[in-house]
C-alpha cells in the first residue's frame, strides 16, 4: 500500500497537514541538503588525528584485515621472544585506557586516547596473571584470524575459563590487545551481538550475498555483527534516517516511507550496539549522505545520539571507526512539543533523575559546542517535560510518516 | 568459506570427532526423522479444541483477516446499540482471563481458556471507565483494520492518553477485545516489536518482496512484527533449528551450517517474543518440519522451550496460533555435560533461585508428561550445575557446528 501525500493526519493535527507542499518541492529541499553534505564531506574528509597539530600526542586504532592482524601479533611475539632470550624477561607495553588518558577532540568531535602506556611484566606478582591472559588472548586472536571466523566475547571467555576465571578479565585484555596492536576490536574478529535492522534505498553485498534493502518486506534486514563482511554499498537515497526505536522503524517500514522520500532507515532498537554504529559510519562514509536523528525528547534520546556521534568513553581508542560525525538532530526536540502541539497528556513529567541527567548533559562537550542543541536541552530541563516519538500517534497512527517527517524535511527543521 | 566435515574440533573434544560418520549418513538419519514428522503431522493435524471431548467448554481465538475483524466489531456495536435502544443500556460480555479460567490441555499440549465471562456495564461506577476504554479500543482497531496498517501497543496507548491514563489499561482491554471478538491480537493489527532473526533454507514472500533466507549473509533476515504479511513459505530443509541465543545463531550462520545439513535456523535472542513464536508456528505448520531446540542447560533454557511449546499464561486465549507443538529438546541437556565432557570450569554453579526455579518446573505439566525431560531436569537440580551453549567453545570455536550438532543429529540424540 503506497502512502498518500499529506493525509488527514488521523483525528487531529491541526493546520500542519494543509501547510505541506508537494512531495516534489520537499524532495528538492532534501536534494540541496544532500548535495551540500556530500561536498562538505569531501572537504572535511581528510580530518584525522594526524592532520591536527594537537599539543598532546594521541593514539588511534585502525581497521586491519585478518592478515595484517596476524602479522602484528607475530611481530609482537617475536619482540617479546627476543626480550626473553636477552634475559630481560616477558613484558607487554599496554596503552592506558583510563579516563585520565582520554581526550575530547573538538575538531574531530570525538573522544580519543592519549599516549600514556604501562609495562605489564610477567615477573611481577601483581601482573603475572594479566600477562598470561594477554598471551593467551593473542594466541586465540591469531587463531581466529587464521581461520577467518568471528566469535563473541562470551565464546572467547569459554575457550579458557580456567585461566580467565571471569569474563570481565578476558574482555578487558581484549580491549588492551586492540590498543597494543593498533587495530579495532572488530579487526580481532571478536564481535558484539547484533541488534540493529535496516530498510530502504540501500544495496550491499554481505558475505557474497547481494542484499537489496528495498525488498526486505516490513521487518527489514538484520545488521550483521561482522562489518567486514559488508561490501559494495550502493544507494540512491538522499539521507539516512536514524531512528531510536523499533516502533517508529516499523511505522516507516510499513508505510514504505523510503519510497516517498528516498532514504535508508536504520535503528539499533534502543542503546546503540557496536555493529549498528559501525554500519552507520560505513554508510555515512561510503555514501556521503546526511544523517538525520529521530529520538525521544528526553535526556536518553540525546545520549543515544551522542554515542553514535562521539562514541562511548569505554571504547575511546576505537572512536574513529565507531563514530559518525555530524548527525543532525531532527526530532523529537523539546521545542517540537509546543510547535507540534503535542497534547499535555502525551507529555510525561521528568523524574528527578531525568532532570539530573539532563543537567549533566548540559556540561558535555557535544552539547556545548552547538548553541541550538544547548538551548533545546535547556528548554527540556526548564520545562521538566519529556515525550516519546510515539506521542505523535495522538494525531493519528500515521502522523509520523505522513505529516511530522515531511514537514520537518520541508522546513529543513534539523539542527 | 564452506565448513569442512568433522574438523579437528579445535583444541580438544576427545574421541567424538572421530566417531562422526559421513555427512551423507547423517543426512539419511535426519531425512528419516523429517519424513516421520511430516507423516505424524498429517495424522495429528486435525487436533483442535473442537475435536476433543473435553468436560469443560473452552474458548479459543482464531486468526482473522482485517475484513472479518471489522465485521465482528460492527456486529458487536450493532448488538450493544440495540441493547441501548431497548433501554437496557451499554454493556459488554468479556471472557475472563484469570488463571482460574485457564486449563492445560494435555492432548493439545497447551494452555487454553475456559468459558467463564463477566458483564462490563457502563452504568456502574466500578466499570464505567473500562467500558469507555473498551469502546474506544474497538473504534481504534476498526480504524486500523480499515486502513490495513499495523501499530504497537505503545502507539495505541498514545492515541488517547487522556482516557487510558496508563498503558496497562489499554493493553489489558486490548487482550479483552481479542477474546471478545474471538481473534488473535495480531488480527487486531496491534503487533509486538520484533526481535527474532532467521537464516537458512527458507524462501517466503513478505509484503510482496521475495525473501530468500539462504542469501541473507551472516546477519540473517529480521522476522517482521506482522505475521500476516508473510506468505508462500517454501523450503527444502529437513528440520528447523531453534536457537536460544544470538551467539550460537551467529556461529551457525557464519559457518553456513544450513548448507551442510539443510535446515532453517531461527532465534528470538533470549525470551521468545510474539512475532518469533508466530513465525515458528507458521513454519512448522506449513512446512511440516521437525523443530529441534538448542538452549542453555539451565531452568531458563527450559522455560524458553516451554513458552514456544505451551505458551505463556498471560496469552492463553491465543495459545493456538502462538504455540508450536512437539519441539524436541536437542541440547544442551544436563546429561550432555558429562557425555560431552564439558570441563568443570565451564559449568556454572546454580544459584538458590536457579535451583528453586528448576524444582518448580518439575511440577509443570510439560515436564511431567515426558519422563525423559523429567529425568534431565532432575539431574540438573540434583547436580546443581548449569552450562551455556557457549561452554562448547572450550573445545574450539567451531565445535558447536562441526562436532556437537552433527553428532547430535547422527545419534538422533533429542528427546
CATH code, A68 = 1.10.10.10
Cβ–Cβ gap A161/B343 under 8 Å: yes
Distance from CA of B185 to the nearest CA of A (A): 17
**A192 close to A166: Cβ distance less than 8 angstroms:** no
**Residues paired with residue B159 on neighbouring β-strands, in sequence order:** none
Closest partner residue to B158 among A216, A254, A393, by Cβ? A393
Angstrom distance (rounded) from CA A246 to CA B193: 6
pLDDT score of A5: 40
Annotated catalytic residue within A104, A158, A308, A317 = A158
* Statement to judge: residues B73 and B42 lie in one domain: no
Question: B311 with B378, same domain?
Answer: yes
B332 and B184 part of one domain: no
CATH number at residue A203: 3.40.1360.10
pLDDT at A4: 40
Looking at the domain assignment, is residue B5 inside a domain? no
The reported pLDDT for the residue numbered A314 is 65
Look at residue B41 and tell me if it is in a domain: yes
User: Of B140, B158, B191, at which residue does a domain stop?
Assistant: B191
Cβ atoms A308, A292 nearer than 8 A: no
Residue A81 burial (CB count, 10 A): 11
* B158, B225, B394 member nearest A161 (Cβ): B394
Is this prediction's ipTM beyond 0.95?
A: no
Tally of domains in chain A = 2
Mean pLDDT of the A203-224 span: 94
**Does the structure show a pLDDT above 80 at A312?**
no
pLDDT higher at B251 or B366: B251
Determine contact: B166 vs chain A, CB below 8 A. no
Other residues' Cβ atoms within 10 Å of the Cβ of residue B77? 14
**Is residue B51 included in any domain, yes or no?**
no
Residues 6+ apart with CB under 8 A from B164: B133, B136, B157, B170
Domain end position, chosen among B191, B225, B247 = B191
Q: How far is CA B410 from CA A165, B20, B27, B240, B398, in A?
A: 34, 8, 8, 16, 18
Q: Nearest CA of chain A to the CA of B105: how many Å?
A: 34
Q: Do A161 and B217 touch (CB under 8 A)?
A: no
Residue A97 grid coordinates: 585506557
Is the residue at A327 inside a domain?
Answer: yes
A263 phi/psi in degrees, rounded to 5: -155, 170
- Whether A10 maps to a domain, the answer reads no
Q: Would you place residue A2 in the very low, low, confident or very high pLDDT band (cuts 50, 70, 90)? A: very low
Q: Are residues A185 and A197 in the same domain?
A: no
Tell me: do B392 and B343 sit in the same domain: yes
What are the C-alpha distances in Å from B238 to residues B30, B77, B130, B200, B391? 7, 48, 49, 11, 27
Residue range(s) defining the domain that contains residue A166: 58-191
Does residue A116 share a domain with residue A243? no
Q: Where is pLDDT greater, at B97 or B174?
A: B174
Are residues A198 and A181 part of one domain? no
| Span of A36-40, A78-82, A174-178, B206-210 with lowest mean pLDDT | A36-40
CA separation for the pair B366, B363 (Å, rounded):
9
Q: Has residue A105 been placed in a domain?
A: yes
On whether any CB of chain B is under 8 Å from the CB of A197, the answer is yes
CA distances from A32 to A25, A38, A294, A393 (A): 11, 10, 20, 30
Given a cut of 60, is residue B332 above it in pLDDT?
yes
Each as own residue / partner, the long-range contacts of residues A10-19 (CB below 8 Å, 24 or more positions apart, any chain) are: A10/A393, A10/A395, A10/A396, A10/A397, A10/A398, A10/A399, A10/B159, A11/A395, A11/A396, A11/B159, A12/A394, A12/A395, A12/A396, A13/A395, A13/A396, A13/A399, A13/A403, A14/A341, A16/A340, A16/A403, A16/A407, A17/A402, A17/A403, A19/A407
Dihedral of CA atoms A400, A403, A404, A410 in degrees, nearest 10, equals 140
Alpha-carbon distance of B288 to B285, in angstroms, equals 5
Higher pLDDT, A6 or B299: B299
CB atoms within 10 A of CB B15: 8
Q: Give the per-residue pLDDT at B370.
A: 92
Give me the pLDDT at residue A403, please: 92
Residue B122 pLDDT: 94
Q: Which of residues 38-67 of A touch B (CB under 8 A)?
A: none
Q: Is residue A52 part of a domain?
A: no
Residue B47: pLDDT band by 50, 70, 90 thresholds? low
User: Same domain, yes or no, for A361 and A218?
Assistant: yes
| Mean pLDDT of the region B334-362 | 91
Percent pLDDT > 70 in chain A is 92
Q: Judge if B36 and B105 occupy the same domain.
A: no
- Cα B370 vs. chain centroid, distance in angstroms? 20
Structure letter (DSSP) for residue B205: E
Q: How confident is the model at residue B116 (pLDDT cuts 50, 70, 90)?
A: confident
Chain A nearest-CA distance from B382, in A, is 23
| pLDDT over 70 (residue B294) | yes
Give exposure, B256-278, as e/b (b: 16+ Cβ within 10 Å).
Answer: bbbebbbbbbbbbbeebbbbbbb
Say whether both B146 and B212 belong to one domain.
Answer: no
Decide if A6 is inside a domain. no
**Mean pLDDT along residues A264-291:** 92
Residues B392 and B287 in one domain: yes
Q: Where are the beta strands (DSSP E) in A100-170?
A: 102-105, 110-114, 117-121, 151-152
Q: Which three cell numbers stand for residue B195?
A: 526481535
Chain A hits for B10, CB-CB cut-off 8 Å, are 159
A74: left (phi over 0), alpha (psi -120 to 50) or beta: alpha
Question: Given CB atoms, is B276 within the 8 Å cutoff of chain A?
Answer: no
CB-based contact B221 A226, cutoff 8 Å: no
- HSE-up of A239 (CA within 13 Å, CB side)? 30
Pair B186, B220 in one domain: no
Which of A12-26, B136-150, B160-174 has the lowest average pLDDT?
A12-26
Rounded percentage of chain A residues whose pLDDT exceeds 90: 55
Residue with cell 524535511: A409
Domain termination site, one of A138, A161, A191: A191
Average pLDDT over residues B65-88: 94
Told to judge if B308 belongs to the known catalytic residues of this protein, a careful annotator would answer no
Q: Which residue of A has its CA nearest to B4?
A: A147
Q: In the prediction, which pLDDT does B103 show? A: 78
Amino acid at each position: 500500500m503506497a502512502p498518500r501525500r499529506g493525509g488527514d493526519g488521523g483525528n487531529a493535527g491541526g493546520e500542519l497537514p494543509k501547510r505541506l507542499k508537494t512531495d516534489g518541492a520537499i524532495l528538492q529541499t532534501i536534494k540541496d541538503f544532500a548535495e551540500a553534505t556530500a561536498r562538505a564531506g569531501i572537504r572535511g574528509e581528510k580530518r584525522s588525528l594526524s592532520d591536527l597539530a594537537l599539543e598532546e600526542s594521541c593514539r588511534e586504532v585502525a581497521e586491519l584485515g585478518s592478515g595484517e592482524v596476524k602479522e602484528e601479533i607475530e611481530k609482537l611475539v617475536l619482540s617479546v621472544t627476543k626480550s626473553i632470550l636477552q634475559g630481560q624477561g616477558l613484558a607487554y607495553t599496554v596503552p592506558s585506557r583510563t579516563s585520565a588518558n582520554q581526550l575530547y577532540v573538538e575538531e574531530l568531535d570525538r573522544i580519543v586516547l592519549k599516549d600514556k602506556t604501562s609495562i605489564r611484566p610477567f615477573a611481577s606478582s601483581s601482573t603475572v596473571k594479566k600477562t598470561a591472559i594477554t598471551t593467551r588472548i593473542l594466541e586465540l586472536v591469531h587463531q581466529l584470524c587464521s581461520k577467518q571466523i568471528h566469535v563473541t566475547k562470551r565464546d572467547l571467555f569459554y575457550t579458557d575459563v580456567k585461566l580467565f576465571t571471569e569474563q570481565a578479565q578476558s574482555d578487558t585484555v581484549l580491549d588492551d590487545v586492540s590498543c597494543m596492536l593498533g587495530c579495532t576490536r572488530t579487526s580481532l574478529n571478536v564481535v558484539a551481538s547484533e541488534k540493529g535492522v535496516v530498510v530502504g534505498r540501500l544495496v550491499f553485498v554481505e558475505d557474497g550475498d547481494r542484499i537489496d534493502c528495498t525488498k526486505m518486506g516490513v521487518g527489514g534486514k538484520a545488521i550483521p555483527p561482522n562489518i567486514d563482511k559488508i561490501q559494495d554499498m550502493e544507494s540512491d537515497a538522499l539521507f539516512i534516517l536514524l531512528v531510536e526505536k523499533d516502533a517508529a522503524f516499523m511505522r516507516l517500514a510499513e508505510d514504505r516511507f523510503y519510497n516517498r522520500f528516498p532514504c535508508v532507515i536504520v535503528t539499533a532498537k534502543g542503546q546503540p550496539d557496536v555493529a549498528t554504529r559501525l554500519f552507520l559510519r560505513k554508510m555515512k562514509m561510503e555514501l556521503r549522505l546526511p544523517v538525520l536523528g529521530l529520538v525521544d525528547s528526553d535526556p536518553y534520546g540525546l545520549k543515544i545520539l551522542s554515542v553514535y556521534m562521539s562514541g562511548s568513553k569505554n571504547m575511546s581508542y576505537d572512536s574513529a571507526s565507531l563514530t559518525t560525525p555530524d548527525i543532525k538532530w531532527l526530532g523529537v526536540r523539546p521545542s517540537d512539543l509546543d510547535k507540534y502541539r503535542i497534547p499535555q497528556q502525551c507529555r510525561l513529567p521528568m523524574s528527578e533523575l531525568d532532570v539530573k541527567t539532563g543537567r549533566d548533559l548540559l556540561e558535555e562537550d557535544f552539547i556545548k559546542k552547538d548553541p541550538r542543541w544547548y538551548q533545546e536541552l535547556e528548554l527540556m530541563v526548564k520545562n521538566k517535560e519529556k515525550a516519546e516519538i510515539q506521542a505523535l500517534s495522538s494525531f493519528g497512527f500515521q502522523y509520523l510518516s505522513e505529516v511530522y517527517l515531511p514537514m520537518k524535511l520541508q522546513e529543513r527543521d534539523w539542527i
